[in-house]
Structure 1
């Protein structure tokens, strides 16, 4: 009996020692790295135009699939879509927007709506008024912003779609609807245009969070100038949106500056922040993945849990679609390794 007890003790000691040396025996469920509601997404506003021209998309196994499914399988939970007032070719008008938003909704993806308030691109270098608004003064422009915003939001609502986030303007570094709404000429006008959009959005969907979106997320002085101006004019907004397009050489330093800026925005205005656009050369996929891994974790680390998420701009572009080379799909129409950054949970 003593011998049996001794053997039993020896076996127990051996078992314990082995379990400490065997990583499989001590496995625990991996802890999540991101907040449960962290936004991982992409702007794919070109998708319907691309499909009409015969462009197809493939998963990493080489099987043709719907782009939205490929993105979802890569860990994305949100689709960003732009809307123009009266674009010449119809793409990104209200009907095209609704069609894409329905696809996103049916795929179980959240929606970020991006109002450009133009017939074409609005960005730091151009904020052109829609042709139909070209002769309007600031009073009429505020009404047009309100009416257009309500009309688009209502078109979505009629299809059972409620955008979780809505941008009032796109990369409005110097305001929008130039020259009446150019911030460097009249910050008050710009602030009132933002307020018109904000009020219109909330009148249709009180739960949608309103974003004011500025490029160069590393440029703290630019952000302080814009948002001090909005605050001083009594403007309302919910989220501070940023763009970030670093190079392969400077992404680490720009990511650090962007994080500092995000934390400053939270401390200064008490608002949430989101990186609404990112991109890097499609041919530099490995470096792009490192950039994305880092900015996703940095955004998630923003103080008080106010870093909402990161979205890639038009990753589905390949073979230099429309000359754009910052996508994240390879020449065969499959996601590059950069897209694996969004698989993080």
Structure 2
């Protein structure tokens, strides 16, 4: 599908966004400097749609984004899927919803990261399923799909007054993306797909930083393998993004935090790139431990020399267990933020 056709599909949305904005969103442009303290809040519009209410420590009902901002969070990360379902937990996050959320976050002074999964639902190390609309496409078609989808979504955002500071091309891709064509078993093809995403981002704004993101940020050997291959295949990117979840490593963060810091430093020096923990989380029942883990993670990223450690982003802190069934949220059962999030304000 041609770029212009993709963009025209969303023209009605742009009209709605412009009509609903009481003033030019350029008035709320965010100064893009300093350490990013973030939250991925892809579930937020669904939570609100199902009637979930958010409260401050004094019991007053408040906007979730404001509650996060009050705790030192200055960055919002939003995933985007191609043609998602309406499923409560595994749907939504369409281009249209992404634009609405990004405008809303920017109005509160938040910086924006967009995370392209290039799928209709979750993409991660265990699954990198092509969108249904792309399933029968040739590899050459997939190259065009990645470029056009990336360009169209970012054009929607730009026309609504939002230019993201960072864009992820793929989500947790140690095995590649858009399987099987974009598997790391054929790294040359994966490189072409990643570069199409990069080129689309830079065509919108050359200042947007492109992130390539892997899981298990404490595993240096894994990162060296992938990014050595990326270098050999001339992959273009600006930032190495990492996930860090001690919970899934089945050990306390103290057993792996030094490895995370060493890997961050090694990636920055070995490839001359900036680095960032774009996903982190801890068990919501272990408030103090999660708070300490966040403090240690922030310190590890800040310890990267030459200010190449850009920030830390908590994945779905607002996804309270009774709504999401997600153990690594950072919210209390009474609808209030977990004190663990105060680590962002304190550090």
Q: Shorter-chain TM-score: which interval? A: 0.7 to 0.9
Whether 1:140 aligns to 2:141 is: yes
User: Which of the numbers 40, 45, 55 marks the counterpart of 1:43?
Assistant: 40
The corresponding residue for 2:72 is 75
1:142 to partner: Cα distance? 0.8
The corresponding residue for 2:259 is 257
The corresponding residue for 2:126 is 125
Deviation by residue 1:234-254 (Cα, 9 ceiling, x = unmatched): 111000000001038420121
1:209 to partner: Cα distance? 0.2
Measured in 2, the distance between the counterparts of 1:267 and 1:70 equals 36
The corresponding residue for 1:166 is 167
TM-score scaled to structure 1, two decimals?
0.88
Contact 1:242 1:276 (8 Å CA) reproduced:
yes
Whether 1:274 aligns to 2:276 is: yes
Measured in 2, the distance between the counterparts of 1:114 and 1:150 equals 13
1:305 to partner: Cα distance? 1.2
Counterparts of 1:147-186 in structure 2, within 5 Å, are 147-183=148-184, 185-186=185-186
Measured in 1, the distance between the counterparts of 2:238 and 2:59 equals 41
The corresponding residue for 2:92 is 91
The corresponding residue for 1:62 is 59
Q: Helix, strand or coil: the match of 1:342?
A: helix
Structure 2 stretches of 5 or more lacking a match? 1-32
Contact 2:214 2:243 (8 Å CA) reproduced:
yes
The corresponding residue for 2:224 is 224
The corresponding residue for 1:245 is 245
Q: Which has the larger radius of gyration?
A: 1
The corresponding residue for 2:329 is 327
Q: Helix, strand or coil: the match of 2:106?
A: helix
Counterparts of 1:93-112 in structure 2, within 5 Å, are 93-112=94-113
1:91 to partner: Cα distance? 1.0
Measured in 1, the distance between the counterparts of 2:110 and 2:141 equals 36
The corresponding residue for 2:197 is 197
> Alignment RMSD, CA only?
1.3
Measured in 2, the distance between the counterparts of 1:235 and 1:327 equals 33
Q: Helix, strand or coil: the match of 2:201?
A: helix
1:137 to partner: Cα distance? 2.0
Measured in 2, the distance between the counterparts of 1:332 and 1:311 equals 23
1:166 to partner: Cα distance? 0.3
Q: Helix, strand or coil: the match of 1:149?
A: helix
Contact 1:272 1:307 (8 Å CA) reproduced:
yes
Whether 1:309 aligns to 2:311 is: yes
Q: Helix, strand or coil: the match of 1:193?
A: helix
Whether 1:209 aligns to 2:206 is: no
Contact 1:274 1:299 (8 Å CA) reproduced:
yes
1:60 to partner: Cα distance? 1.5
Structure 1 stretches of 5 or more lacking a match? 1-35
Q: Helix, strand or coil: the match of 2:163?
A: coil
Contact 1:191 1:229 (8 Å CA) reproduced:
no
Q: Helix, strand or coil: the match of 2:293?
A: helix
